[in-house]
């Protein structure tokens, strides 16, 4: 009897520990795992260095804010109906938010309104949409970017001469704003004449062919301003093939690895760069905050900068040109 009584406290202690552990296990089992927020990212395209860099920025933000992403994009930037269909799929998947780089200013408005009606916040990046239902726009001021291109043209080609504008899509808002800014800037110089304007539909081969046609028709061409990435490299193809890099000054947009190489080779004289990494990053960041009910800014201007051989190796510019290289 004495022996049994001696061991009782130990037995009770063990039993108490087991019961306590069991209680903790049951308690932990009942705590639900919090589901990550999910965002849909609908881009104009997934091709080209520009959009790949936008995607990188979005992925970095997704990791930082602990959300999942699905990327969608039409096969062709000119495929507006295809992008609308992708937006409808994104809305139907019931995401916590959508990040949209719209292929058309007006045509994408109804589908953005539809998302808003379902309580899904939409943050637009790179290109705006004609609706007040979008929570925010993140991207460059394209009118000012056009003005900057005009200043570079005057700096490199002078205040007199014949120039051509190689745009990408008639009626596309980014294209229109860049063109308006460019024309406003060069209107200060009556000696500069715009003798041709063409649209490439963001196709490199078309840009090449149209540029060759312009040069054949106007052999005394002094400069060309190309208003987006694919138009830029297509124009450069034609100038290089015709060996006119020492005569025709070329101002481009964006900062693909190929454009930077052409800049060093003297085929391109200057390029207007945006900040695609920040555009992708801030698009996801603002969409997450909007999904949490936080107030986000109506507009975020991510800026533009003119890059040429004299400044492309500056450390600050290298960070813009290669944001994903540590």
pLDDT at residue 49 in the model: 86
- In the chain (326 residues long), the average pLDDT of successive 10-residue segments reads 46 48 46 80 90 95 98 92 98 98 96 98 97 97 98 96 95 94 98 97 95 97 96 97 96 93 96 95 98 96 95 86 64
pLDDT at residue 33 in the model: 60
pLDDT at residue 318 in the model: 85
pLDDT at residue 4 in the model: 44
pLDDT at residue 245 in the model: 95
Q: How far apart are the first and last CA of the chain?
A: 75
pLDDT at residue 247 in the model: 95
pLDDT at residue 324 in the model: 61
pLDDT at residue 315 in the model: 84
pLDDT at residue 193 in the model: 97
pLDDT at residue 78 in the model: 84
Per-residue model confidence as pLDDT tens digits over 62-120: 999 999 999 999 988 889 999 999 999 999 999 999 999 999 999 999 999 999 999 99
């Amino acid at each position: 009897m004495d022996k049994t009584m001696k061991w009782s406290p130990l037995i009770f202690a063990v039993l108490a520990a087991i019961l306590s552990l069991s209680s903790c296990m049951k308690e932990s089992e009942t705590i639900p795992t919090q589901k990550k927020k999910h965002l849909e990212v609908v881009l104009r395209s997934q091709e080209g260095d520009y959009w790949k860099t936008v995607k990188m920025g979005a992925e970095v933000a997704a990791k930082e804010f602990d959300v999942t992403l699905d990327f969608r994009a039409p096969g062709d930037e000119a495929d507006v109906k295809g992008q609308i269909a992708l937006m409808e799929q994104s809305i139907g998947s019931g995401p916590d938010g959508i990040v949209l780089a719209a292929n058309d200013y007006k045509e994408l408005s109804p589908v953005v309104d539809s998302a808003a009606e379902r309580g899904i916040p939409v943050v637009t990046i790179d290109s705006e949409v004609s609706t007040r239902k979008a929570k925010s726009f993140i991207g460059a001021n394209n009118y000012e970017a056009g003005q900057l291109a005009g200043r570079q043209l005057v700096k490199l080609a002078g205040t007199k001469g014949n120039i051509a504008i190689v745009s990408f899509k008639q009626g596309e808002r980014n294209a229109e704003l860049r063109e308006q800014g460019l024309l406003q800037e060069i209107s200060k110089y009556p000696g500069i004449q715009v003798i041709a304007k063409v649209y490439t539909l963001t196709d490199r081969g078309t840009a090449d062919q149209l540029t060759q046609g312009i040069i054949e028709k106007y052999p005394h061409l002094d400069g060309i301003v190309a208003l987006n990435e694919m138009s830029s490299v297509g124009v450069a193809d034609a100038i290089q093939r015709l060996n006119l890099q020492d005569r025709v000054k070329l101002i481009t947009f964006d900062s693909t690895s190929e454009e930077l190489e052409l800049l060093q080779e003297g085929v391109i004289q200057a390029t207007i760069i945006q900040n695609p990494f920040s555009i992708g990053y801030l698009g996801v960041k603002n969409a997450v905050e909007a999904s949490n009910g936080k107030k986000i800014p109506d507009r975020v201007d991510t800026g533009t900068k003119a890059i040429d051989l004299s400044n492309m190796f500056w450390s600050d510019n290298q960070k813009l040109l290669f944001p994903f290289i540590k």
